[in-house]
A and B are shown apart, each in its own frame.
Chain A
């Protein structure tokens, strides 16, 4: 499902030199597999997710998702591929404030080539326990509810891969487990591969596979 080989990514610094952020020899995730990726702050977790999602382009290396080398796609092609194949749950939910819960989910469906399936959007929200909050805007929802909407939105296009960037970091302790369960159950039900980034041991302990980016990323090891 996901294969990264010799992927390197660096950013230009003010003095003109480049700062290596990612240097990963190989990283694989099988279809439907759920794994946790741990690492300290600044070890390149978010950049890795951006490279996998096609939001950022690697300097070199292979990034293959569902058999497609997304590094070879144009920007427009990557945008469309992302919409069709990759779900993304952000640490800060990133719901659009002017849109209702239902509209936020529909928004996730709006950029694919297919039709907007409102019935599925409603079912997803019902599945995450927000069937009666469809028309509520984010400001009217609790933090935990907002993250549940974000999960529903990420699942809207039946992705093959779900990227979750510390999805419980801004959720209170009482609701953290609910969110983890929701993400994992949703992926299991729809056979979606999951890469969940976390720095919380209580979260990572629940996964049978836990990779440490500190060790995986040579740019960090050699820094």
Chain B
């Protein structure tokens, strides 16, 4: 019986290793790794950019980013873009913003067509 389990374990381990071998050139859903400002962060000065780094390369034509205030008004400069020096980076410029809570909406498509989207907030609390 132990022999049977040994054989099966060996075969399955081999399949697992084979599957990992497929991974190097594969693409998949992409998710954020980190951002500036950070998700939920309180910052003391208005940032010039919102940047989000993802765990895979993005398709520039189908990846978008917007920043809104609490009333839903769009406050960014409208120049959201991928990279171009880094295809995992999605960024957008901001004007000087007053204190408040802002929400970043992003929608990205990985190079193989998988769509992911999300949003997060950050707070500007300008020192007087």
Same complex: no
